[in-house]
Structure 1
Amino acid sequence: MMKKILIFLTFTILLSSCSSMPKDEQDLTVSIIKTKSAMQLERGNNEYRWNNYDSALALYSKALSSSSSVDWQPGVIRSLVQISRTLDQLKQAEKSRQYALAARGFRESIENKALNILTQNRIAEWYYFQDDINKSLTLIDQAILQGKNLESEEAGETWRIKASILKKKENYEAALSAIDEAVNLDKKGLFLGELASDYYIKSSLLSLSGKYPEAVVSMEAALEKDKFIENSSGIAMDLYGLGKIHEKNGNSDKALEYYNRLYLFYLGSNNTIPDFLLDAINSLTNKENWLAEIEWPLS
Structure 2
Amino acid sequence: MNKKNSLRRTQKRTKKYLLHLLPTAYCLLLTPYSLLPTAFCLLPTPYCLLPTPSSSASSYSPPHVHFMDVGEGSATWIEVGDGRHILVDTGNVITGARLLTMLQRAGVERLEAIIITHPHPDHMGGIFHLLPSLKVDRVLDNGQAIAALPSCDIYRWYVEAVRSRANYGVLSKGDRLHYGPVNIEVLWPPSPTSKNWNDNALVILLDINHRRILLMSDAGHHVEAALLKEKIDLRAEVLQVGHHGAHDASSEIFLKAVAPERAVISVNSNNVRGYPSKDVLERLRATGADVLLTSDNGTWTWEGVRSKE
Give the TM-score of the pair, scaled to structure 2.
0.34
Give the TM-score of the pair, scaled to structure 1.
0.35
- Pick the structure with more strand per residue: 2
Q: Which has the higher contact order (CA 8 A, sep 6+)?
A: 2
Q: Choose 1 or 2 for highest CA Rg.
A: 1
- Pick the structure with more helix per residue: 1
